[in-house]
Amino acid sequence: MQKTYDPSRIEPYWYERWEHNGYFEPSGQGTPYCIMIPPPNVTGTLHMGHAFQDTLMDILIRFHRMRGHNTFWQPGTDHAGIATQLVVERQLNAAGKDRLEMGREAFVEKIWEWKDKSGGTIQNQMRRLGASVDWSRERFTMDEGLSTAVREVFVRLHEEGLIYRGQRLVNWDPVLETAVSDLEVESTEEQGSIWRLRYPLADSDESLVVATTRPETMLGDTAVAVHPNDPRYAHLIGKKVKLPLVGREIPIVADEYVDMEFGTGCLKITPAHDFNDYEVGQRHGCEPINIFTGQATINENAPAAYQGLDRFEARERIVADLKAAGLLDGIDPHKLMVPRCERTGAIVEPYLTHQWFVDLTRKTQPDGRPGGWTEITDPAIQAVRQGQIQFTPENWTKTYYNWLEDIQDWCISRQLWWGHRIPAWYDNNGQVYVGRSEAEVRKKHGLPDTHSLQQDPDVLDTWFSSALWPFSTLGWPENTQELSTFYPTNVLVTGFDIIFFWVARMIMMGLKFGGEVPFKEVYIHGLVRDSEGAKMSKSKGNVLDPIDIIDGIDLESLVQKRTTGLMQPQRAPAIEKQTRKAFTNGISPHGTDALRFTFASLATTGRDVVFDMGRVDGYRNFCNKLWNAARYVLLNTEEQDCGANDEAVMLGSADRWIISRLQTTEKTVIEALETYRMDLAAQAIYEFLWDEYCDWYLELCKPVLQQDTDAKRQRGTRRTLVRVLEAVLRLAHPFMPFITEEIWQRIAPLAGIDSPTIMHQRYPIPAAELEDQTAEAEIEWVQRFILGLRRIRGEMDIPPGRALPVLLKNASPKDLERLEQHRVALDFLGRLESVDVLDANADTPESALALIGELELRVPIAGLIDKAAELERLSREQSKLESELKRIQGKLQNEAFVSKAPAEVVTREREKLADIEDALTRVAEQQQKMA
RNA sequence: GGGUGGUUAGCUCAGUUGGGAGAGCGUCGCCCUUACAAGGCGAAUGUCGGGGGUUCGAACCCCUCACCACCCA
């Protein structure tokens, strides 16, 4: 093995080999285990969230594969309708071209070109991460097969009356001119104003004042609402106001929606441009008046003076005109939530348009057939409530229920060109026909070719196809082998941010069309944040490319990367400054295994994953530790007798100890993996490998390998060195696939194993009969002995190279037996010059003291010990012991404790008390002697 | 306004049926001991957010307050 650990040398090599040899494909044997990847954007790049999530999935996949399951991890991408169309459109604009001039067909062609060009990026980044997905079955939401599934679902839902077309208020992006989903709208608090507008009554000199954050919408007002219990306005209910600038007379209505405390207590009602007003308007029979065009300019329903104005220009003009008319009562600064489209940054407009909806709310349809609530929503709730699907952590079910129980119909149409075209055709009479194809529609409805049909120009929400992902990827609606083997899948691994939009919808569609839940478990992980705890985003300039952590990147390149292609270029200097501060020397290379191990150890139950580069540094060191430990093992075992063919061996207590500890570690790791506690699993592996195998076992081996003359003992030690390492490599493989494979290739033959890859080896199974309490007690005694000695060394500033004479006093027969048995190890690890056992009544010379239970370990002072330092240490130890003594005495003197606490707890406290009293006596003696 | 989660060492976080406060990183000493200086050995560091309650006993259970974060309206 190379002397230094160099991940860049081993990682790409092994991945290429694994993939080339088809090791990621399902074995076809054993219990099926399947995970569907949450499909990333086909033209996207890997961010930290992906890397985190992919790591967690790969750990589960490799774990189950090694347990002998028929394991399948489905990879793929989605077409990300808006994002992708936008990217290509921007490219065209930069080249001086225009989508509309170009035409739909040519534009879509351009997007496919872009997809082919940049489509492989994220897949190759996943390869760098070691993701063991089955690339041979990769899917894309706009593949032919998946598109068939989309059409099939649409048609069937429509046939059942569960998809309808209607006019509703939707979130509208006036830049893209499309409806967008709630998920794509981000509301943030922004500074705005409240305008107080005075509306005169129609039939008197009275007037009232409405408060609004959006004065321009007054052109579409259809009512003014007050609270029915508001005494200030009770006399006005039922009267009319004359809408300024427009002249329309609109009613004053009473509605409990109005907040009497807010503003003036009078609310202008604009049903066509506000979700709440729409509801209020409906209650009072107000016809919505739409005053905007698709680009949010004022349309022909408004007075001519304002037509054609942009919504923000219109606001200024209207406020100015009202002011001129003496109808502006005032302007107050006000913070309000402003909804913006995540993609374009444009302020989203509630907008009244014709869209396609999935019914999720009706219990029954007017014709008596079951409605969407009964057919789709309620079953999705029940599946979780009745435990067919389990969430981890369980708490997230609340979020799930909250949303589903208050669900709205799902707007699935988008006014885009990139996506699945809605399978609906219109004739010249406006009659709509839904079917799998135009031919099917014509056949079904007996429409001759001469009867003109136009397909609906809109496409479906990307989430509509994503909702089908768990079964459409497996070949549905065909009844394929894959579908019957892997559906329902085992677990969905995802972030809590898309529980509503994706998880819930997959459950709905899975139950409806897959006939069963799409997955039995949902593992919800946290979201990756930067070291300050802030969400990572390009515009904040705090994103990290996982590949940069793997390969390393110099500061200049990092600054460059973070400051190019910004939506707000003016932020570049701030981002540059912040980057230079946070990464003074850029990012050093860490390798994939270290990054993966970091992600695993960050996967706690919390919902924020605060990413700290220091952790990655630490785990890279861990990889290095493993590497060097393996080198040491090989150095001592290669071409030597390791008992690979089950020759007779003798195992010492150190051997039996490390084997016993390995069983415990295996149990911990497996249990942690089964409960999605990757952090605990990683911690157990880390501690075993570093604190037990490296720090103690390798050291305990040295005297045996270097000095022992018994072949069976040496063979036993070599065999244990090799076998334990081999097992822990398998244990750690799901977390650190590359380094474990590389080392395993060298170690496995020494353990008598012949196989091309660790990937297909069995995951360790803890064996109760290998647990050995006796050996653990033995080694613990040795550890305490050595630690006591080391502490004296450290505190007395005695160089580690200097051999020490040791005196033992108050030794029990057991102590003497252990001393005898472990003498070689103690000499080696403790650098003992001599050991003398003193009689109980013998005089003890001035010496530094360490207590191992009742056994006194003493190092004589002459010429070695700093008397003052020892006295200082003794007084520190004394006060520590005394405070502990006080605590325990207090407990035991409490009669209620003695009588009510379990007997074993009381006994334990009594024993502790005795130990402490004993230790205090010795410390006091020692102090006297030194004084 | 409704809901959820959080508050433990300087930093990031564990703490699984309530019974001796932990890890990593950082800090401070001593060591280039033939696997590893990306290392070894040792040390220091906490009114477990505040208050109250239940209990023999609370970081953990209950109530309450404060602050932070997120989600929904």
Cα–Cα distance, A811 to A76 (Å, whole number): 68
Residues A332 and A185 in one domain: yes
| % of chain A beyond a pLDDT of 90 | 36
Tell me the pTM: 0.90
Question: Two tokens at A218?
Answer: 């007054």
Other Cβ atoms less than 10 A from the Cβ of A370: the count is: 16
**Cα dist from A444 to A182, A310, A411, A441, A477, whole Å:** 36, 46, 27, 5, 20
Q: Given this model, what pLDDT does residue A632 score?
A: 93
Residues A830 and A920 in one domain: yes
Helix (H) and strand (E) counts for chain A?
A: 33, 29
Question: Closest nt to A694 (CA→C1')?
Answer: B35
Other Cβ atoms less than 10 A from the Cβ of A759: the count is: 22
Q: Is residue A448 part of a domain?
A: no
Domain boundary pick from A525, A540, A562:
A525
Question: Closest nt to A625 (CA→C1')?
Answer: B36
Per the DSSP assignment, residues forming a β-bridge with A456 are none
Cα–Cα distance, A36 to A77 (Å, whole number): 11
Q: Is residue A583 part of a domain?
A: no
Which of strand B's nucleotides are less than 7 A from any protein C-beta?
3-6, 11-16, 19-20, 23-26, 29-31, 33, 35-36, 38-44, 55-57, 69-73
Instruction: Say if CB A226 and CB A233 are below 8 A apart.
Output: yes
Q: Is residue A11 part of a domain?
A: no
pLDDT interval class at A254 (50, 70, 90): confident
**Cα dist from A149 to A108, A380, A512, A696, whole Å:** 21, 20, 13, 59
- Could you give the maximum distance between any two Cα atoms of chain A, in Å? 119
Question: Closest nt to A621 (CA→C1')?
Answer: B38
- Look at residue A74 and tell me whether its pLDDT is greater than 70: yes
Distance A630 CA to B36 C1' (A): 10
Instruction: Say if CB A811 and CB A855 are below 8 A apart.
Output: yes
A634: three-class secondary structure by DSSP: helix
Residues A603 and A741 in one domain: yes
Distance A840 CA to B40 C1' (A): 36
Judge residue A90's burial from the number of C-beta atoms within 10 Å of its C-beta, 0-12 exposed, 13-18 middle, 19 or more buried: exposed
Other Cβ atoms less than 10 A from the Cβ of A394: the count is: 9
Question: Closest nt to A873 (CA→C1')?
Answer: B43
- Predicted confidence (pLDDT) per residue in A573-582, tens digit: 888 888 888 8
- Predicted confidence (pLDDT) per residue in A100-111, tens digit: 888 889 888 988
Cα–Cα distance, A247 to A241 (Å, whole number): 9
Task: Give DSSP secondary structure letters for A537-574.
Answer: -TTTT----HHHHHH-B-HHHHHHHHHSS-SSGGGHHH
Distance A794 CA to B44 C1' (A): 14
Point out the residue nearest to B57 (C-alpha to C1'): A897
DSSP letter at A131? Answer: -
Check which CATH number belongs to the domain holding A717 and give it.
1.10.730.10
Instruction: Say if CB A249 and CB A313 are below 8 A apart.
Output: no
Point out the residue nearest to B29 (C-alpha to C1'): A794
Q: Given this model, what pLDDT does residue A367 score?
A: 92
Residues A762 and A780 in one domain: no
Q: Given this model, what pLDDT does residue A864 score?
A: 63
Cα–Cα distance, A295 to A245 (Å, whole number): 22
Domain boundary pick from A715, A736, A771:
A771
Question: Two tokens at A904?
Answer: 């074993």
Distance A786 CA to B44 C1' (A): 21
Per the DSSP assignment, residues forming a β-bridge with A301 are none
Question: Two tokens at A501?
Answer: 């939009």
- Look at residue A261 and tell me whether its pLDDT is greater than 90: no
Point out the residue nearest to B33 (C-alpha to C1'): A801
Distance A774 CA to B18 C1' (A): 31
Phi, then psi, of A169 in degrees rounded to 5: -80, 130
Point out the residue nearest to B72 (C-alpha to C1'): A403
Point out the residue nearest to B25 (C-alpha to C1'): A614
Task: Give DSSP secondary structure letters for A338-375.
Answer: EEEETTT-PBPEEEEEEEEEE--S-SB-TTSSB-HIII
The interface predicted TM-score of the complex, written ipTM, equals: 0.92
Cα–Cα distance, A725 to A745 (Å, whole number): 12
Question: Closest nt to A888 (CA→C1')?
Answer: B20
- Predicted confidence (pLDDT) per residue in A880-904, tens digit: 788 788 778 878 888 888 888 888 8
pLDDT interval class at A454 (50, 70, 90): very high
Question: Closest nt to A791 (CA→C1')?
Answer: B42
pLDDT interval class at A18 (50, 70, 90): very high
- Predicted confidence (pLDDT) per residue in A327-356, tens digit: 888 888 777 778 888 777 888 888 888 999
Residues A608 and A511 in one domain: no
- Look at residue A309 and tell me whether its pLDDT is greater than 90: no
- Look at residue A643 and tell me whether its pLDDT is greater than 80: no
Point out the residue nearest to B68 (C-alpha to C1'): A533
- In this prediction, residues A417-432 reach a mean pLDDT of 91
Question: Closest nt to A905 (CA→C1')?
Answer: B19
Q: Count of alpha carbons within 13 Å of A70, Cβ hemisphere only?
A: 10
Point out the residue nearest to B70 (C-alpha to C1'): A607
Q: Is residue A454 part of a domain?
A: no
Distance A687 CA to B22 C1' (A): 13
Residues A177 and A152 in one domain: no
- In this prediction, residues A4-32 reach a mean pLDDT of 93
pLDDT interval class at A497 (50, 70, 90): confident
- Predicted confidence (pLDDT) per residue in A474-489, tens digit: 998 999 999 999 999 9
Question: Two tokens at A912?
Answer: 């502790």
- Predicted confidence (pLDDT) per residue in A162-194, tens digit: 999 998 888 898 888 888 887 778 877 777 888
Point out the residue nearest to B13 (C-alpha to C1'): A602
Question: Closest nt to A622 (CA→C1')?
Answer: B38
Q: Given this model, what pLDDT does residue A125 score?
A: 92
Cα–Cα distance, A643 to A715 (Å, whole number): 6
Distance A792 CA to B37 C1' (A): 24
Point out the residue nearest to B18 (C-alpha to C1'): A901
3-class SS string, A650-683: CCCHHHHHHHHHHHHHHHHHHHHHHCCCHHHHHH
DSSP letter at A594? Answer: H
Residues A157 and A186 in one domain: no
Q: Count of alpha carbons within 13 Å of A633, Cβ hemisphere only?
A: 28
State how many domains chain A has.
4
**Top-ranked range on mean pLDDT: pick from A292-301, A311-320, A337-346, A760-769:** A760-769
Distance A62 CA to B60 C1' (A): 35
Q: Is residue A699 part of a domain?
A: yes
Residues A311 and A403 in one domain: no
Q: Is residue A359 part of a domain?
A: no
Question: Closest nt to A915 (CA→C1')?
Answer: B20
Cα–Cα distance, A270 to A351 (Å, whole number): 11
- Look at residue A534 and tell me whether its pLDDT is greater than 90: no
Q: Given this model, what pLDDT does residue A863 score?
A: 66
Phi, then psi, of A894 in degrees rounded to 5: -80, 110
Domain boundary pick from A710, A744, A771:
A771
Cα–Cα distance, A472 to A147 (Å, whole number): 9
Q: Is residue A268 part of a domain?
A: yes
Distance A584 CA to B11 C1' (A): 18
Point out the residue nearest to B6 (C-alpha to C1'): A606
Residues A640 and A733 in one domain: yes
* Closest by CA position to A486, among listed A28, A32, A59, A11: A32
Cα–Cα distance, A425 to A712 (Å, whole number): 84
Distance A624 CA to B40 C1' (A): 15
Residues A144 and A196 in one domain: no
Check which CATH number belongs to the domain holding A191 and give it.
3.90.740.10
Instruction: Say if CB A476 and CB A514 are below 8 A apart.
Output: yes
The reply, when asked if residue A538 is annotated as ligand binding, is: yes
Phi, then psi, of A562 in degrees rounded to 5: -80, -20
> Which residues constitute the domain of residue A37?
24-162+375-412+460-525
List CB contacts of A621: < 8 A, sequence separation 6 or more: none
Distance A170 CA to B50 C1' (A): 46
Indicate the average pLDDT of chain A: 87
- In this prediction, residues A205-222 reach a mean pLDDT of 85
Q: Given this model, what pLDDT does residue A93 score?
A: 84
Residues A197 and A69 in one domain: no
Within its chain, how far is the Cα of A610 from the centroid? 11
Question: Closest nt to A612 (CA→C1')?
Answer: B12
Residue recorded with tokens 């040899």:
A21
Other Cβ atoms less than 10 A from the Cβ of A875: the count is: 12
Check which CATH number belongs to the domain holding A470 and give it.
3.40.50.620
Residues A664 and A723 in one domain: yes
pLDDT interval class at A53 (50, 70, 90): very high
Instruction: Say if CB A188 and CB A539 are below 8 A apart.
Output: no
Distance A907 CA to B23 C1' (A): 30
Q: Given this model, what pLDDT does residue A335 score?
A: 75
Q: Is residue A582 part of a domain?
A: no
- Predicted confidence (pLDDT) per residue in A131-165, tens digit: 999 999 999 999 999 999 999 999 999 999 999 99
Phi, then psi, of A395 in degrees rounded to 5: -55, -30
| % of chain A beyond a pLDDT of 70 | 99
List CB contacts of A299: < 8 A, sequence separation 6 or more: A290, A291, A292, A293, A307
